């Protein structure tokens, strides 16, 4: 019985530590996106790009960072780079609905009507399913 209680206490301890680590990472991620947002609001797009690239060097599989980088590239009129980042984000998380809107705008600027319409259709389909 004592071993069972010790085992249960150990499992609870592990769960608590895991939850603490998760919350800490979540907080760090949220503050990182706040910083990127502040840079963008202040017109410091190069600083935002630098922060996002640094983040992606540490974790290439961060769909939100790819999406944010694509949107900032769009603001800088780096349309091909923007599309590449947005497509990368979609391969990781195809349900990021705002990416389709961004891609629609970029394709329209590039005169790529068919691609723009496909992006808009994807956006409408996802919007309807939520």
The residue among 114, 113, 111, 87 whose CA lies nearest residue 102 is: 87
Side-chain-facing half-sphere of 24: CA atoms under 13 Å: 6
Confidence band, pLDDT 50/70/90 cuts, at residue 17: very low
pLDDT tens figures, 32-68: 677 878 878 888 889 989 988 988 898 888 898 899 9
Q: What is the mean pLDDT of residues 82-109?
A: 92
What is the rounded CA–CA span in Å between residue 125 and residue 88? Answer: 20
Domains parsed from the chain with CATH numbers:
2-129 (1.25.40.10)
Structure tokens at 71: 């949107």
Which ranges constitute the DSSP H helices of 1-130?
2-41, 45-58, 63-75, 79-92, 97-109, 113-129
């Amino acid at each position: 019985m004592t071993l069972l209680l010790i085992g249960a206490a150990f499992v609870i301890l592990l769960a608590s530590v895991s939850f603490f680590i998760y919350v800490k990472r979540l907080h760090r991620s949220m503050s990182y996106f706040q910083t990127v947002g502040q840079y963008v609001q202040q017109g410091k797009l190069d600083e935002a790009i630098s922060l996002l690239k640094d983040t992606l060097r540490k974790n290439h599989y961060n769909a939100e960072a790819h999406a944010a980088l694509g949107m900032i590239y769009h603001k800088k009129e780096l349309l091909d780079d923007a599309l590449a980042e947005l497509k990368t984000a979609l391969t990781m998380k195809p349900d990021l609905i705002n990416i389709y809107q961004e891609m629609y705008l970029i394709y329209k600027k590039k005169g790529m009507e068919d691609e723009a319409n496909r992006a808009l259709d994807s956006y409408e389909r996802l919007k309807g399913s939520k």
